[in-house]
């Protein structure tokens, strides 16, 4: 990807954006892998990718689905280096992406499910603008809660680039919350440890510091990207602040459990 593709300027026509939205919608709805979008649209920019993501959001909300918030994607340095970016991506979260703790999360409607541990924020005041501080985010936070995100890349063979991932709603698929909701002032969000177990064995571990240095800074970056695409974060939003651990591939029958310091644990089975 050249730097010119990283611009928020649009290069594609409205008809192209509609066609790409059709492709992503079909891939997500039918759990069918597709080639990365830049194969047919090499001029596609980051701005085009967000135009696709927002068109998908408008279509689904127009069809009666409910948005609950946003997520940060590609927050860890390792993922950013891999994709050649310095700013996380965002993806929207719908109420129907939620699955209850201790439930069986189906995989027959997913392509490449992987799980990662995240701290989720629930806000009590609107957040907007390009330069929010950690303190402003924390002041607008009602509570934090532990979560596991099930990400799903819809691209064949995991071959994608930044534009394709962003158009694919930053691989958003499912999320599960549980454990113990806490006030942000009552926990040290900077250094929360978490261990991810699969079938009773630890498979990944990390510290919340892996998420943009501090999960509240990751939320500030989400709001910055939202500002760039003409969106804001209303009070009452649910925000997933980004993967603390690497994403671990899962298959039917697996049981996963994330054990967070201070926030308790959250687990479920894959079906
Ligand atoms: O939540 C995320 O970090 C999104 C990652 C997007 C790329 C991938 O699917 O690995
Ligand atoms: Mg994530």
Is residue 153 lining ligand 1, measured as CB closer than 6 Å? Answer: yes
Whether residue 97 lies inside any domain: the answer is: yes
**Residue 40 belongs to some domain of the structure:** yes
Tell me: the pLDDT tens digits for 81-133? 777 777 789 999 999 999 999 999 999 999 999 999 999 999 999 999 999 99
Answer yes or no: is pLDDT of 187 > 60.
yes
Mean pLDDT over 152-178 rounds to 95
CB contact set of 42 (below 8 Å; sequence gap of 6+): none
SS3 180: coil
Report the SS3 class of residue 67: strand
Kindly state whether residue 9 falls inside one of the protein's structural domains. Answer: no
On whether residue 127 sits in a domain, the answer given is yes
Atom of ligand 1 nearest to the CA of 247: 10
Spacing, Cα 27 to ligand 1 middle (Å):
16
Cβ count near 77 (within 10 Å): 12
Look at residues 29, 217, 17 and name the one whose alpha carbon lies nearest to residue 136: 217
Both tokens of residue 133? 């501080």
Instruction: Tell me which residue range forms the domain holding 223.
Output: 14-270
151 CB within 6 A, ligand 1: yes
Average pLDDT of span 133-138:
98
Has residue 147 been placed in a domain?
A: yes
Looking at the 3D structure of the chain, how many domains does it have?
1
Domain harbouring 65, CATH code: 3.90.850.10
Nearest-atom number in ligand 1 for the CA of 149 is 1
- Given the CA of residue 240, which atom of ligand 1 is nearest to it? 1
Residue 171 CA, ligand 1 centroid: distance in Å: 5
- Give distance in angstroms: CA of 265 to centre of ligand 2: 17
Q: Report the DSSP beta bridge partners of residue 248.
A: 115
Query: Which is more confident, 82 or 217?
Result: 217
pTM of the complete model beyond 0.85: yes
Ligand nearest to the CA of 148: 2
Asked if residue 88 has its Cβ within 6 Å of ligand 1, the reply is no
């Amino acid at each position: 990807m050249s730097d010119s593709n990283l611009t928020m300027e649009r290069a594609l026509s409205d008809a192209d954006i509609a066609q790409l939205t059709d492709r992503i919608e079909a891939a997500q709805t039918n759990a069918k892998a597709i080639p990365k979008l830049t194969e047919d649209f090499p001029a596609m920019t980051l701005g085009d990718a967000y135009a696709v993501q927002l068109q998908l959001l408008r279509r689904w909300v127009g069809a009666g689905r409910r948005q609950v918030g946003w997520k940060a994607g590609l927050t860890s340095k390792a993922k950013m280096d891999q994709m050649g970016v310095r700013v996380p991506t965002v993806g929207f979260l719908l109420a129907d992406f939620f699955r209850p703790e201790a439930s069986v999360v189906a995989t027959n409607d997913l392509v490449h499910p992987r799980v990662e541990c995240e701290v989720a924020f629930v806000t009590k005041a609107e957040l907007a603008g390009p330069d929010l501080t950690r303190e402003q985010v924390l002041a607008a936070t009602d509570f934090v809660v532990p979560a596991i995100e099930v990400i799903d890349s819809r691209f064949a063979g995991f071959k994608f680039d930044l534009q394709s991932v962003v158009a694919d709603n930053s691989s958003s698929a499912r999320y599960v919350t549980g454990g113990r909701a806490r006030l942000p002032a009552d926990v040290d969000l900077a250094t929360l440890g978490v261990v991810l177990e699969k079938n009773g064995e630890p498979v990944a571990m990390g510290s919340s510091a892996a998420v943009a240095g501090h999960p509240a800074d990751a939320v500030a970056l989400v709001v910055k990207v939202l500002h760039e695409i003409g969106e804001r974060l209303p009070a009452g939003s649910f925000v997933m602040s980004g993967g603390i651990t690497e994403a671990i591939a899962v298959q039917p029958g697996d049981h996963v459990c994330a054990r967070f310091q201070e926030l308790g644990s959250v687990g479920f089975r894959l079906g």
